[in-house]
Homo-oligomer: A and B are copies of this chain.
């Protein structure tokens, strides 16, 4: 990443996550809603944890969420996280988070950072490039914040509920997260601010201006900064995650002429649908390529054993490759004749059993059977259907359909 070198000072993150998320209309606060077996907040933590110049992440949760949060940290092996208890309002929670760098009654003190980034647990899609901009601007100016153009016109209402006036849209911006501060600037602002601010305020930039005299540099962020607010946003977030997981796959062709031929047709089809493929004859000594993606298409001839799939699964288990995102394996079974029903039943059972076993480890195993035809149009159509089914299995990552033997 360009510009990383400029961060020659310590940077930490405070993630307030003590909200109850009433607006989603769901019983679980939205930061704890799960996609692909993982709570939203873990995706946000992962984003920061991947960035080498971010040293620590203080997650501020409500008292009743402390144990579940510690459980999440452990389950998904988050290493930079410290969990602290928040207050009754957003500002009190952020202040609690900032105090984690000062007080030491609860165990080892975190080193006080030069710059602290304040973000929302429910904005999982912030990228390193933008965080870098926010961080460097905060270092330079004392405070910085993300802004976005207004989507709706903002209007002022009279006390009787009528239109008073509408604001000129071009003069105003929506204030979003992340925001960055010199630690001393924001900590001082919280020390000096009033009970009224703690209770009713929402804007950290405002506190920095009012109580530390620091006017924040505002930087326009990408639309991906948006905040998961309503139930529909959960579906949107899931679709973004699933789409980004489906961009590439590893195609294991097998060594037989028939499987290699099928592989090259499938490869052509999938690439024309904008999937990037790594193509391997077999998994042996290819662990590095295997760990580049979380989607696998394995072509084999009907009757072949599942041993190569089992080997692959072993690699994933040893490397915890499926810890953060489910791994999909589409096992394609090429049949050269139809008269193998008993054999087929045996294979169906084997695949069903293996799929149930590996599902616990977040590995989703599906099987697609394709019947070879000498009639070019029929063969073409089957390969086209195999393409569609494979794409759909990879994109949807539907845990209910694992172990099924689909027909191309």
A residues neighboring B (CB under 8 Å) = 23, 141, 143, 145, 147-148, 150-158, 161-163, 165-167, 169, 171-176, 202-203, 205-206, 209, 215-219, 223, 226-227, 229-230, 232-233, 235-240, 338, 341-342, 344-345, 348, 352, 388-389, 391-392, 396, 398, 400-401, 403-407
Contacts and interface: CB of A to CB of B under 8 A. Distances in A.
How many copies the complex holds: the figure is 2
A389 B229 CA distance: 30
B166 A154 contact: no
Nearest to A240: B232
A215 B404 contact: no
Nearest to A342: B341
A361 B158 CA distance: 53
Nearest to A209: B163
Contacts of A163: 143, 145, 205-206, 209, 215-216, 218
Contacts of A174: 151-155
A351 to B, nearest CB: 10
B217 A161 contact: yes
Contact of A235 (B151, B239, B406): B239
Given A154-B173, A401-B406, 13 more contacts: A154-B174, A154-B175, A162-B217, A163-B215, A166-B205, A223-B230, A232-B239, A235-B239, A239-B239, A341-B342, A352-B407, A392-B400, A396-B396
Nearest to A164: B215
